[in-house]
Amino acid sequence: MTPVIPPTSTSFDTPELIRRTLAGERVPLARAISWVENEAPGSVELLDACFGASGRAFRIGVTGPPGAGKSTLVTKLALEYRGRGETVAIVAVDPTSPFSGGALLGDRVRMTELSGDPGVFIRSMATRGSMGGLAVHTAQVCDVLDAAGFQRILIETVGVGQSELEVAQTADTTAVVLVPESGDAVQAMKAGLMEIADVFVINKADREGAERAAFAIRSALELRAHPTEWRIPVHMTVASQAGGVPELVDRFEEHLVFLRDTGRLEERRRARLEQRLTDLLQARLWSGFRARVGDEAWREQLAALASRQATPHQAAEKLAGK
Amino acid sequence: MTPVIPPTSTSFDTPELIRRTLAGERVPLARAISWVENEAPGSVELLDACFGASGRAFRIGVTGPPGAGKSTLVTKLALEYRGRGETVAIVAVDPTSPFSGGALLGDRVRMTELSGDPGVFIRSMATRGSMGGLAVHTAQVCDVLDAAGFQRILIETVGVGQSELEVAQTADTTAVVLVPESGDAVQAMKAGLMEIADVFVINKADREGAERAAFAIRSALELRAHPTEWRIPVHMTVASQAGGVPELVDRFEEHLVFLRDTGRLEERRRARLEQRLTDLLQARLWSGFRARVGDEAWREQLAALASRQATPHQAAEKLAGK
């Protein structure tokens, strides 16, 4: 196996980067994550090594509508976990931001509170790679952090769209963060968050209407077609003052125990792995197909479509025949 | 061509449904849309016929965060267009809702204001079909409505996630609706709405902070890396009282003229068609691949993944080899 020197690196060959990443060294770790994000030449080898060494970390997804205070909450959660002696990695995912301004902003806040602690690692992600969507990349980055020995990984996603749900679902436990404004609570159903939440958090609970929002969510949970064994808690926090954060961490740890004892942890992780395999294969199939078809035939069919000489279905038939 | 009687229909064969849908009859039209949503046996033939007869309608996407008042605004827009003598179809898309409660709610409001007008057709969609995602289905349903002769199609999407952006981008013109609370304005950048908005709307502009929000958006627009020829308007409305709605319709029509005169309309429609073709082919490739691989080999690789005997990359390699 000859060492590969990817363009993004002048200082590491692949085996060295893998060894030092698995040893938990920060600089190689940061570089390793960049390899994954950029799909650098050595990244497959790196990912294979990290996947083998992963599976120990507890991955917690934190999602919810913009403005719910997720960045602050995640920062306080990290501090609480540190207080309990756990090492923590934060992955802030911003699928739609072109300049991931949000994530950067969140990081700046975090820096002041978490900087200098070797037990904390913070990373922002906004890139969507060719090998499947952002969810795949997030899961891969979490594998690297997991393999590097971080015990708790907090995955923070912005927004309430499909891709955010997918990212949140790379986690073992998913917390949905809302604010008292009842609108959010009602919209939570719309946004499909009811289906993915293991824990509901009403942040900024010192604001008016927190109790009402909690009630709305609890009622909505009662109405679900398929109630779960796990009684989904609706927990209030005031993240800016770390209010309710220790109790929220307790809820997370309780859910982890529940998942382990009921075999659900393995079940969920199997389902996630199946999704990752699917994403990888779909991306691979498509690039292979496009290479096979070639640009000329592709352009031909597009022209036929634009002139209404072919329908999408007919054009697909033609190209799929190749 | 032998007529196909799909299970969802007892009263129409395919040629008759096509003929009467193209003639703009409401009942067949509603049935035709159901065929598309359910991918009924006759739907391909139907879609081919409708695609050929489509391209005349002006498609306007209306998106933005939950609670921005999109349903009300879209209703008032429909009324304004009706006042100008245009026929209007409303497609309310709710990608994440399991029981599309939101869309239904919006419809109930609309019913009272638009009911009984043969020049208006309202449809809610929440299903994600096998042939590509919701965006494909939305575009197909719009083709049907277009072919049925509706002159303006208002596509309303809930939320600010990736799938909503994709749906919004099946339109010729995309309006992004926000509320005065400045948070939304700032979050708009995060949500990538800046990239897709042809028109910005501050709804509920009678609330405090509307001017500030408009200013924030205008400033953000100034800061864009790639400013466009079209000067994106930031328009204020109070949809509940139809305030600013006629002027908003003027903005839409101005944008349509701009798109036509600059050739951008054809450009955009070509890009949309390419996306649709891609979605169709990807779905087709995947179903073909899974059938080829078979369940046993699939389960084998999943087991290897779960036991960490294979990595996602290795499992993908094995299966893709088949």
Query: Do the Cβ atoms of B87 and B149 come closer than 8 Å?
Result: yes
CA-nearest residue to B104 within chain A is: A190
| CA gap A76, A240 in Å, rounded | 8
B48 C-beta neighbours (distance < 10 Å), count: 16
Q: Which of A37, A127, A30, A111 is nearest to A75 (CA)?
A: A111
What dihedral angle (degrees, nearest 10) is formed by the CA atoms of A314, A320, B1, B4?
-100
With b for 16 or more beta-carbon neighbours within 10 A and e for fewer, the A82-95 pattern comes to beeebbbbbbbbbb
Asked if B313 lies within 8 A of A280 by C-beta distance, the reply is yes
CA distance A234 to chain B (A): 20
As a whole number of angstroms, the distance between CA A294 and CA B187 comes to: 40
B162 and A95 within 8 Å at the Cβ level: the answer is yes
Q: What is the mean pLDDT of residues B49-70?
A: 91
Judged against a pLDDT cut of 50, whether residue B101 lies above it is answered with no
* Residue A141 contacts residue A123 (beta carbons within 8 Å): yes
Query: pLDDT above 70 covers what percent of chain B?
Result: 82
Q: Are the Cβ atoms of B311 and A52 closer than 8 angstroms?
A: yes
Lowest mean pLDDT among A154-158, A174-178, B156-160: B156-160
CB distance A191–B48 less than 8 Å?
A: no
Q: How many CA atoms lie within 13 A of A191 on its CB side?
A: 32
User: pLDDT, tens digit, for every residue of B207-217?
Assistant: 998 998 898 88
Asked whether the predicted pLDDT for residue B29 surpasses 70, the reply is yes
> Which ranges of chain B does DSSP label H, i.e. alpha helix?
14-22, 26-38, 43-52, 70-83, 101-114, 134-147, 162-168, 182-190, 193-196, 210-222, 245-261, 264-293, 295-306, 312-320
Environment class of residue A290 by beta-carbon count within 10 Å: exposed (0-12), middle (13-18) or buried (19+)? middle
Tell me what the mean pLDDT of segment A271-275 comes to: 92
Distances (CA, A) of A194 to A224, B101, B277: 9, 13, 33
Which among A161, A281, A315 is the nearest to B161, CB-wise?
A161
The residue with tokens 């009402």 is: A212
Q: Which residue has the tokens 């960490």?
A: B308
CA–CA min distance A9, chain B (Å) = 22
- Chain B residues whose beta carbon lies within 8 Å of the beta carbon of residue A319: 277, 281
| A 279-298 near B (Cβ less than 8 A) | 280-282, 284-286, 289
Residues 184-243 (B) with a CB less than 8 A from some CB of A? 184, 187, 189-192, 194-195
Give per-residue burial for B179-210: e unless 16+ CB within 10 Å, then b: bbbbbbbbbbbbbbbbebbbbbbbbbbeeebb
- Within an 8 Å CB–CB cutoff, is residue A257 touching chain B? no
Can you give the pLDDT at residue A140? 93
Name which residue leads in pLDDT, A18 or B213. Answer: A18
Residue A98 has pLDDT above 50, yes or no: no
Range(s) for CATH 3.40.50.300 in chain A? Answer: 53-262
| Residues B196 and B164: beta-carbon distance below 8 Å | no
The pair of structure tokens assigned to A311 is: 């329908």
Query: What SS3 state is found at B218?
Result: helix
At A162 the pLDDT is 62
Read off the pLDDT band of B1 (50, 70, 90). Answer: very low
| Residue pLDDT, tens place only, B278-303 | 988 998 999 999 999 999 999 999 99
**Average per-residue pLDDT for chain A:** 85
With CA atoms as reference, report the closest residue to A163 among A142, A189, A137.
A137
Q: Does B102 touch chain A (CB under 8 A)?
A: yes
Local confidence band at B227 (pLDDT 50, 70, 90 cut-offs) = low
What are the percentages of helix, strand and coil residues in chain A, rounded to 5? 55, 15, 30
Q: What does the pLDDT look like over A223-259, one tens digit per residue?
A: 776 667 899 999 999 999 999 999 999 999 999 999 9
Residues A273, B305: Cα–Cα separation, whole Å: 7
Phi, psi of B12 (to 5 degrees): -130, 140
Helix or strand or coil: residue B103?
Answer: helix
Average pLDDT over residues B37-49: 93
Q: What is the pLDDT of residue A79?
A: 96
pLDDT band of B100, cuts 50, 70, 90 = very low
ipTM over 0.85: no
| The CATH number, out of the four listed (1.10.3720.10, 3.30.1330.40, 3.60.15.10, 3.40.50.300), of the domain defined by the range A53-262 | 3.40.50.300
Query: Is the pLDDT score of A10 beyond 90?
Result: no
Cβ contact A142:A269 at 8 Å: no
At a CB cut-off of 8 Å and minimum separation 6, what does B13 contact?
A: B3, B4, B5, B42
Closest CA to A48 of A17, A2, A25: A17
Give the gap in angstroms from C-alpha A272 to the nearest C-alpha of chain B.
10
Q: How many CB atoms lie within 10 A of CB B83?
A: 11
Mean pLDDT of chain B: 85
Average pLDDT over residues B201-207: 95
Distance, first Cα to last Cα, chain A? 36
With beta carbons under 8 A apart, name residues in chain B contacting A130: none
Nearest to A97 among B51, B192, B319 (CB): B192
Which residues does chain B have within 8 Å of residue A286's beta carbon, measured at their own beta carbons?
281-282, 285
Average pLDDT over residues A195-205: 92
Provide the pLDDT for residue A111: 66
Q: Is B163 helix (H, G, I), strand (E, B) or coil?
A: helix
Place of tokens 């903005």: B251
The mean pLDDT value for A2-29 works out to: 79
Q: What is the share, in percent, of chain B residues with pLDDT greater than 90?
A: 60
Mutate which of B45, B96, B219, B269 to disrupt the A interface (most A C-beta within 10 Å)? B96
Q: How far is CA B172 from CA A174, B50, B232, B273, in A?
A: 37, 18, 14, 12
CB contact under 8 A, B277 and A319: yes
Which residue type does A121 have?
F
Between CA A247 and CA A235 the distance in angstroms is 8
- Dump pLDDT digits (tens) for B228-240: 789 999 999 999 9
**Cβ distance A24 to A149 under 8 Å?**
yes
> Do A209 and A182 meet the contact criterion of CB atoms below 8 Å apart?
yes
